[in-house]
Structure 1
Amino acid sequence: MAILKLSAAERRRISAFFTCLVLALVAWVITVLSSSYNYTVKEIITFKNAPLKRAFHSLQSDTVNITVKGTGWQMLLSKIREANHQIKIDLSPLDYEDFVVVSSQLPAINAEKAIHNQIIAITPDTLYFDFTNRSVRRVPVRLIKSIKYMPQFTQSGLSIIKPAYVTISGPSNLIDKIDVWHTDSLVLKNINEDVTTALNLRVPAEGNISVYPKTVQVTIPVEEYTEKTLELPVKLIGNVDYYNVKLFPQKVKVTFTTSLNRYADIDEELFEAQADLNLWRTYGISTLPVKVVRMPAFCKLVSVEPGNVDFIVKR
């Protein structure tokens, strides 16, 4: 196979040719990308200055096509430079109209854009809305939580939410069905002390519902717990015929958990154990189950021994 041999002068001429070709191509690309073009991109619309006395529901998609005038460089980098892909539509005209003409807001929209290329058209140009009666309501906040405590620690009281109520407003047919408003999920692990944190409220699924405020402060008391056992007398109930009834045993051992801070203050007076004689009269059972019907809210029942008591009825 023949091998082409070039002289030094010929190699220099070929190298110069390819160098000029590359430079010409680069210059052409720069010229093309520096020229002005109109191109279309999709963006999400968000609303501001919503009417206070009218509930609304958008009748079109939350995305629009925008026509932008910019250089080829801006067209090439539009996806990178437009990180949020959002434009804000002013809803002030809805105070006296049932639609918003977007083209009339182009100067304000362009002024808020972070880039220099200009939006020259938005499709659709007119946004239409459905209106219903607007309601305002105060509803309680409900905490959504998933908390794992360290061994021998647990929540020692009710969660405190400030504010406990939020104000919601929107279409009457939606607002009237809402009884509570949930927080975002509070997820914690290995907790051994009180928790105090700011927590966001759930964002409404419908764009025409507003919630105020948008955050609450949550406090969850946490204490170390231990077990305690007390002997309680069993109180007989349901003895409507006033039989002479003897229980065996007359006392049961009740084991429960409580916080260390309250351990010494807990005694038998705070508890009540009962056995119901009606279960024998109605169902003929031979032993009566024991139920602890009164106990402090900060205690948690572990066991009752024995769980059933024998009895003798003397007629």
Structure 2
Amino acid sequence: MNNSNAAYAEKKLKPGKATAFFICIGIAAMLWVLQALNTVYNYTITVPVVFKNLPQNKKPLAEIPNVLKVDIKASGLKLLLVLANKPFKTIEVDFNTLKSVNKMQNYILSSGSINFKGSFKFETQIKHISPDTLYFSEKNGYQKNVPVKVPLYIKCALGYGAGKPVITPAFVTIWGDTADINRIDTIYTQPVNLVNVNKNYNSDLVIIKPNSNISTSETKVVTSIEVAKLIEHTITLPITVINGQNFKQVNIFPSKVKVKFTAIQNAFAIADTVLFKASIDPEKTNANNKCYVYLSTVPGNVNILSIVPKEVELLIIKN
């Protein structure tokens, strides 16, 4: 009886074949993960980049890149931590910090002059950067400064409004063949289409070259648009007579109008009232001796809702 109980207890304590198999698989997987995390890998990462302080009076021989391909060498663990930071933060590269050769015609991109840690969040061994050199030549042809404009369509959410886009820089230098440059008075960015907007917009926009023979001092501009809740305002304006020199006297009834409009929050001050001007033209009086009131000057950051009254009566004394 005792022998039977001992055999049963021994059988109960001994793990089954399936359990032992899965334990071995688990141990093997853990060992594989540990080995993978400690193995050193070579890996290529694409990082967004923006350049500033481009060389003056020089023309890039190729398009200034907006991404760099970076070959790094790191352990599996560090590589995993680096890739966890995707999408990578845009790196700003200052030409003033880059090493130049060949009479400042070629600029070398190196890990010592570019802050990759700010994007990767970890120190890494940089093996190679592509491209590793930016090539320039002396500018040829005519050059001039032109304004930058953004082809913009924006529709705000109900109750919100947008201010005028702020573009930085507002002007860029272009150069190329004299005939081409003379035909250009404005440079445009990529178009922007915004719908149902209820917060500020800020983005880097690529400048679109009119043709491949034109070079620009900047490849991108920063565009900011303030978006805020709309506030309704009402002001009273005196009516000004335009083209009244042909009449001895023009009397207006009533002599003032109320203008209702909306403006984005904090974008309109009482002092801006002087930017409004309500006018009539007695030369356009209708058969009932009435004349429509219109706004001859309006600030650029408001949306007119109504003018009350829309028309006024005139008593005209001719010369």
Q: TM-score by structure 2 length?
A: 0.50
Decide which structure has the larger Cα Rg and report it: 1
Q: TM-score by structure 1 length?
A: 0.50
